[in-house]
Chain A
């Protein structure tokens, strides 16, 4: 395995343990957050705030470097255009997320963890992505 793939594996492992601790694999935690009219569960706020804060601070230092540690270049989106495609895509994603409480990272962890609903959700998610890929190409 190349050093880049090993680094990606390690980054994924750190990210995955974070997803496990955040409890988002339990979609009812997410639904409890989204249901503000019921017994509101604010855990998601702590997950997002901590994740964004750590990444934001780290990125500031990382982007001072000329290139990634293992070579190549930083691949970040250069466009700043806010268009209908972005907003429509985000809205459609949001509706799906609000219906079931699964977003892509946690549900993929759920597949390996034996979460039954993740096994139903993920094939549909892959199909939805494939369909969108055909339409917008």
Chain B
């Protein structure tokens, strides 16, 4: 399958999953929010979160096994991965969303907040990637 076709099909399924979650239980498919709520949210509001995450993680991992190009062997710098992980966890909690909550669901709802968030995190990500490439640290 052509890379771009696979990406568009993958994106369409992401949108469909988000739509199905809203249609059925009325929730935004924002992964950072669903995950932090699963670990730290109100007791009665955790089960659907774990169900969603289990479905996503297991189906996603199984699907990867059937794809012609599985993720490349990854051996990034451990300190870099830890710093990046801390920033992603901290920032998504502070800003109430990530690529899925603000990027997919927020833009689909035409939320001004999400548009600002997306423009901000895209600009920051391009800047960080640019700096990384120029200080020549292998990611």
* A interface list, Cβ under 8 A from B: 1-2, 4-28, 31, 34-38, 42-44, 46-56, 58-59, 62, 65, 67-70, 72-77, 79-82, 85-105, 108-118, 120-133, 135-136
Contact = CB atoms under 8 A, between A and B. Distances in A.
Contact of A112 (B22, B58, B120): B58
Given A21-B9, A125-B86, 11 more contacts: A5-B48, A7-B25, A10-B20, A80-B113, A90-B116, A94-B123, A95-B87, A99-B129, A103-B88, A105-B100, A112-B60
A37 B35 CA distance: 34
A105 B69 CA distance: 19
Contacts of A7: 20-21, 24-25
B55 A10 contact: yes
A11 B81 contact: no
Given A77-B111, A100-B76, A23 B19 contact: no
Given A92-B95, A112-B57, A128-B87, A98 B24 contact: no
A93 B94 CA distance: 9
B88 to A, nearest CB: 4
Contacts of A86: 95-96, 113, 116-117
Nearest to A49: B11
B96 A43 contact: no
A111 B124 contact: no
B26 A104 contact: no
B42 interface: no
A26 B54 contact: no
Given A68-B26, A103-B88, A94 B94 contact: no
A47 B10 contact: yes
B contacts with A: majority SS:
helix
A120 B113 contact: no
A contacts with B: majority SS:
helix
Contacts of B74: 26-28, 115-118
Given A97-B121, A113-B60, A116-B74, A87 B116 contact: yes
Nearest to B9: A21
Given A59-B22, A99-B80, A16 B88 contact: no
B87 A99 contact: yes
Residue of B12, B21, B26, B31 with highest tally of chain A CB at under 10 A: B26
Nearest to B76: A117
A133 B96 CA distance: 11
Interface in B51-72: 51-61, 63-65, 67, 69-72
Contacts of B40: 130, 133
